[in-house]
Chain A
Amino acid sequence: MQSLGVVIDEACAAVFAARDAQRRVTTLRVSPAIYEAIVQGKARELERGNPVMVLGLDVVNDASLSGEVAALE
């Protein structure tokens, strides 16, 4: 099972690294499998018109990624 728990921890570390480098980040890119898991989990919320967000970042489906990596921009 791919773990959202792991992806979010990776993303959180990247957010802190960006903060230390005084780089502003707004977007979290994740693999299609992880994106699917987020969208499924948040289905009810998305139906209400909320955006797909994790850690305050917009989540983007990135087919070039696989596994539990998270890329910030």
Chain B
Amino acid sequence: MLTSEETEYLCRVGPDTPIGRVLRRYWIPAFQLADLPRPDCPPIAVPLLGERFVAFRDTEGRLGFLDELCCHRGASLALGRVEDCGLRCIYHGWKYGVDGTIQETPNMPESSRFKERVKHPAYPVREAGGLGWVYLGPPDRLPSFPEYHWFGVPQSQLLITEMILDCNWVQVQEGSIDSSHVGILHTDSIAEIREGKGRRTGLGNLMDGFPSEDNSPRLEVENTDFGFHYAAVRQASDGEDRTYVRITPFIMPFITYIPPTSNNIVIVVPRDNWTTSSIGVRVNPTDEPIDLWAAWRAQGVDDPEVWGPEPERRRVRLPAQDRPAMEEGRSFAGIQGIRMQDAVVQSSMGRIYDRRNEHLVPADVGIIRMRRLLIESARRVDQGEDPIGLDRPVDAAKIEAASGTIPADVPWQSLVPGNRAV
């Protein structure tokens, strides 16, 4: 449980909040590069951490990330025209470069030196792994850019599925690092994989066959230089002295790799206090073509009534539960697809779940540790220090998730040698 004050402290993301200040210290995966496919394409509005930004790609192909509202009189620059190496406001024609330079102010006398003296807020932005990453923190604290393993993968081998949910980011993030729901909420999906049902996605499986019947795993958590990782250790189906282990790394503060491999990445980004992007990045480890429909179906986003890949359809319209399927024993939860099952329960808690009412158990250790790292990071940032994950060099490319059946006396850490404990 948390008190109401502590829930507020943990969940609020605006610029003047403790966790908002923490989140602004990292490179933030803010938008999909697919939304800015070519020079001078239309700009996009990017709501992020309770603020409004605009992203655009100029004539030379450079990305710009600026405050959304024009600094003349506040019209949205997401309505703007991208032309001649800049973004022009359609209200009175003020024009901005990617670095926030004010290039033109048509309704101001030529003689004014305003343009040379004033800059529009612009932020560092980088492109990698199919996403645009931005930094909103103090300029003198800009961290080095993390080189995650999937950054080298060509965009054609990445499948990015962004689901926008109407609830606070912390309850979504808590869902990503929660191992003890996997064998229950996702019962149907696990059964499908075990029985070899369902069309091949071309992406490998979202799940392994989950070779264990044990729904009360022993959990072990260990702090690492990037945040923490934890192992859910279960009695394996294939023998007394063997354990089935799933290891989940949580990379402060946005990213989780979901076992069985590091190719299933979930990124949780707060748009504002009550709206969250849950961005799935699937890395195709093979040269098999991705079957988009099958991949969407496995995630539960194949129904156009519920979700679509276009920006205006990414907000999830929660599906009705299939009660007949539940009653007839065809489905446990009555919801199709792993990520939709997650989305439905996470949103069902309400916009910001009141943690006074929860009854945590030791199996919630991943959630408990994540909250602690955020709270500790907020304390550190308050004292002028670096938050967890930025306080020492991290070899981001080596961070990994894993799952496998091993002899009970072998330490699970041996499956993830790239994760450095601290």
Contacts from A to B (Cβ < 8 Å): 1, 3-6, 8-9, 12, 15-16, 19, 37-38, 40-42, 45, 53-56
Does B357 have its Cβ within 8 Å of any Cβ on chain A? yes
Given contacts A16-B220, A41-B1, A42-B356, contact A5 B371 (CB under 8 A): yes
Judge whether A6 and B356 touch: CB under 8 Å. Answer: no
Number of B positions contacting A (CB below 8 A):
25
Question: With a CB–CB cut-off of 8 A, which chain B residues contact A12?
Answer: 360, 362, 364-365, 368-369
Judge whether A37 and B3 touch: CB under 8 Å. Answer: yes
Question: With a CB–CB cut-off of 8 A, which chain A residues contact B372?
Answer: 3, 5-6, 9
- Complex Cα distance A29/B376, Å? 22
Give the residue of B1, B3, B359, B371 whose beta carbon is less than 8 angstroms from that of A9: B371
Question: With a CB–CB cut-off of 8 A, which chain B residues contact A1?
Answer: 5-6, 9
Does B4 have its Cβ within 8 Å of any Cβ on chain A? yes
Closest to A38 in B: B1
User: Can you identify 22 A-B contacts, CB atoms within 8 angstroms?
Assistant: A1-B9, A3-B372, A3-B375, A4-B2, A4-B3, A5-B2, A5-B6, A5-B368, A5-B372, A5-B375, A6-B376, A9-B372, A12-B362, A15-B362, A37-B3, A42-B1, A42-B356, A45-B357, A54-B1, A54-B360, A56-B361, A56-B362
Contacts from B to A (Cβ < 8 Å): 1-6, 9-10, 218-220, 356-357, 359-362, 364-365, 368-369, 371-372, 375-376
- Complex Cα distance A54/B356, Å? 11
Smallest CB-CB A-B distances: 8 pairs: A41-B356, A9-B372, A5-B371, A41-B3, A5-B375, A9-B368, A15-B362, A12-B368
Give the residue of A8, A16, A56 whose beta carbon is less than 8 angstroms from that of B1: A8
Judge whether B3 and A8 touch: CB under 8 Å. Answer: no
The prevalent SS among residues of A at the interface is helix
Question: Contacts A42-B1, A45-B357 given; 17 further ones with Cβ under 8 A?
Answer: A5-B6, A5-B368, A6-B376, A8-B360, A9-B368, A12-B360, A12-B362, A12-B368, A16-B365, A19-B218, A37-B3, A41-B2, A41-B3, A42-B356, A53-B359, A54-B360, A56-B361
Say how far A16's CB is from chain B's closest CB, in angstroms. Answer: 7
Judge whether A55 and B357 touch: CB under 8 Å. Answer: no
Interface centre among B6, B357, B376 (most CB of A within 10 A): B6
Question: With a CB–CB cut-off of 8 A, which chain A residues contact B357?
Answer: 45
Say how far A58's CB is from chain B's closest CB, in angstroms. Answer: 13
Question: With a CB–CB cut-off of 8 A, which chain B residues contact A8?
Answer: 1, 360, 368
